């Protein structure tokens, strides 16, 4: 009897030990599974944190990591990179860029020219082994597949369709998207804040100069087959929006939407806006107002001509750039207006 009780007691002890061991094994396995899950989650978060989601005219794109070698096929995208302290490895039409884009940030001599903006050299681009290409969709839709064969390509559109956004809004949006690509979002915000501060300072200078009239017409003029051509900028143009940001008001109005932001007009069209200040961009060797239109009653009889409210801007005035060009343009308008008083 005592022997049987002893055996039952031993069995009970062994059973308890087996249960305890099983629980320890389950806890150990559970802890191992938890540790493995946490490790996998951390690895996934690390991997995803290096990925960049950016939106261009074709939609969202995922970029695995910030590119180190970027080729740009439009001047404004080179300017955007320079504003963020980044040099491209290649760009289209460097000579033209240096002739027109008059910002302080300089393009490095090491940047390789990869052909024209209209017809970039695909072989030259490929030889640079870029991590990313940035281009203007309206120029290169036909070769997007070829560009993507070289490397991932982003395409933006500086000339939004009617009802979407203005050229200025598109400039800011694209600048911010490019900043995300190169990991410079804080720098981009600083650049845009500085630009807004510049507008406020320039507007105050114009106010202090006691300019009587804040209305303007902005024109770009040139000869075509010896005939004068005048482009008048509409409200959706980037240049006119910059001018409104420094306290001026666009007097030019016309029916219909123009995607590039300007109408081609004759000198007679200016008769409706004679009370405004007339700003015009011409080349020194092709000044239609001093050449073809000199002595023309339709020009000479305009109120802003008779009252000396015409302002010639430099021939390299660039009205299609990024935030740095916007600041330069605003300064040019202010200098022309204030120095004439």
Residue 256 lies in a domain: yes
Q: Are residues 176 and 248 in the same domain?
A: no
Do 69 and 163 sit in the same domain of this protein? yes
Q: Is residue 338 predicted with pLDDT exceeding 60?
A: yes
**Which residue, 141, 161, 182, sits at the end of a domain?**
182
Q: Can you tell me whether residue 22 is helix, strand or coil?
A: helix
Rounded Cα gap, residues 221 and 16, in angstroms: 98
Please indicate, yes or no, whether the overall pTM of this predicted structure exceeds 0.75.
Answer: yes
**What's the CA gap between 149 and 128, in Å, rounded?**
14
Strands 227-233, 52-56: parallel, antiparallel or unpaired by DSSP? unpaired
Residues 222 and 120 in one domain: no
Question: Which of 154, 182, 210 is at the close of a domain?
Answer: 182
Number of H helices and E strands in the chain, helices first, is 12, 13
Element (H, E) at 3: helix 2-49
Question: Token pair for residue 58?
Answer: 């074709």
Q: How far apart are the first and last CA of the chain?
A: 124
Per the domain annotation, does 211 fall within a domain?
A: yes
Quick one: DSSP state of residue 98? H
Which regions of 3-152 does DSSP assign to beta strands (E)? 52-56, 59-63, 70-72, 90-91, 112-113, 132-136
> How many structural domains is the chain composed of?
2
Q: Are residues 308 and 236 in the same domain?
A: yes
Q: Tell me if 116 is assigned to some domain.
A: yes
Q: Is residue 24 part of a domain?
A: no
108 occurs within a structural domain: yes
277 in Cβ contact with 213 (< 8 Å): yes
CATH number, domain at 292?
A: 3.40.50.1980
- Spatial separation of the C-alpha atoms in residues 70 and 85, rounded to whole Å: 13
Indicate the SS3 state at residue 311.
Answer: strand
The whole-number pLDDT of residue 22 equals 53
Give the end of a domain, one of 150, 182, 214. Answer: 182
Higher pLDDT, residue 327 or 33: 327
pLDDT at 11 (0 to 100):
52
What would the pLDDT profile of 241-277 be if each residue is shown by its tens digit? 999 999 999 999 999 999 999 999 999 999 999 999 9
Please give the average per-residue pLDDT across 49-53, as a whole number: 82
Q: Is 101 helix (H, G, I), strand (E, B) or coil?
A: coil
Domain boundaries, position 73: 52-182
Residues 76 and 168 in one domain: yes
Note whether 131 and 217 are same-domain residues: no
Sign of CA dihedral 115, 118, 122, 127: positive
Distance (Å) of CA 280 to CA 180, 193, 221: 36, 28, 7
* 159 and 263 fall within a common domain: no
Q: Are residues 151 and 288 in the same domain?
A: no
Task: Tell which wins on pLDDT, 212 or 102.
Answer: 102
Q: Where are the alpha helices (DSSP H) in 231-322?
A: 238-245, 297-300, 303-306
175 and 109 in a common domain:
yes
Stronger pLDDT, 287 or 19, i.e. the higher one: 287
Q: Are residues 92 and 226 in the same domain?
A: no
Closest CA to 273 of 312, 234, 236: 234
């Amino acid at each position: 009897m005592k022997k049987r009780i002893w055996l039952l007691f031993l069995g009970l002890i062994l059973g308890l030990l087996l249960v305890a061991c099983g629980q320890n094994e389950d806890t150990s396995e559970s802890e191992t599974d938890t540790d493995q899950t946490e490790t996998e989650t951390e690895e996934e978060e690390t991997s995803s944190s290096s990925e960049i989601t950016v939106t261009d005219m074709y939609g969202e794109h995922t970029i695995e990591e910030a590119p180190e070698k970027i080729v740009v096929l439009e001047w404004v995208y080179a300017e955007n990179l320079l504003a963020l302290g980044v040099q491209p490895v290649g760009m289209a039409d460097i000579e033209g860029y240096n002739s027109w884009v008059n910002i302080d940030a300089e393009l490095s001599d090491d940047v390789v020219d990869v052909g024209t903006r209209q017809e970039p050299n695909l072989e030259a681009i490929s030889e640079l082994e870029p991590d990313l290409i940035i281009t203007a969709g309206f120029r290169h839709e036909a070769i997007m597949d070829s560009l993507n064969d070289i490397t991932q390509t982003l395409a933006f559109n500086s000339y939004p369709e009617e009802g979407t956004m203005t050229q200025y809004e598109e400039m800011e949006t694209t600048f911010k998207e490019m900043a995300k690509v190169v990991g410079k979002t804080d720098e981009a915000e600083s650049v845009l804040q500085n630009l807004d501060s510049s507008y406020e300072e320039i507007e105050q200078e114009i106010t202090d100069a006691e300019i009587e009239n804040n209305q303007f017409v902005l024109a770009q003029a040139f000869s075509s087959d010896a005939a004068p051509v005048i482009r008048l900028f509409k409200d959706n143009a980037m240049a006119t929006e910059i001018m409104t940001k420094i306290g001026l008001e666009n007097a030019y109005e016309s029916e219909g939407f123009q995607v590039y932001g300007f109408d081609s007009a004759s000198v007679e069209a200016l008769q409706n806006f004679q009370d405004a200040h007339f700003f015009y961009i011409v080349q020194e060797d092709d000044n239609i107002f001093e050449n073809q239109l000199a002595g023309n009653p339709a020009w000479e009889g305009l109120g802003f001509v008779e009252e000396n409210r015409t302002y010639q801007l430099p021939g390299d005035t660039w009205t299609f750039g990024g935030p740095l060009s916007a600041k330069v343009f605003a300064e040019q308008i202010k200098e022309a207006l204030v120095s004439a008083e």
